[in-house]
Amino acid sequence: MMITIKDKVRAFIVDNFLFGDTSYELADTASLIENDIIDSTAVVELVAFIEDNFGIAMVDSDIVPANLDSVDRISSFIKAKAETLAA
């Protein structure tokens, strides 16, 4: 079975910010900030995860809630960045 970007992102969030609590119903579109899943330091952890696992170098303008505040947004951001790199 193929592991998708979204699976990897979700697994990282569950392991790192929910500490393995799989009973937490994390919707793909749920805001990580409004649901108190990440704090300001966690953003740094999130950026490191994306750079290390997907070979993406993020610039300051990438690090905004519009790109990183839900499983869906993070996955879409990674896909878009990967496509830009591949082009």
Alpha carbon dihedral 10, 14, 15, 20, in 10-degree steps, equals -140
Using CB under 8 A, which of 7, 21, 28, 51 touches another protein? 21
Using CB under 8 A, which of 9, 13, 69, 74 touches another protein? 69
Does residue 30 belong to the site contacting another protein (CB under 8 A)? no
Smallest distance, another protein to C-beta of residue 59, A: 11
Token pair for 77: 């951001």
Using CB under 8 A, which of 44, 51, 55, 80 touches another protein? 44
Does residue 58 belong to the site contacting another protein (CB under 8 A)? no
Q: Distance (Å, rounded) from C-alpha 33 to C-alpha 46? A: 13
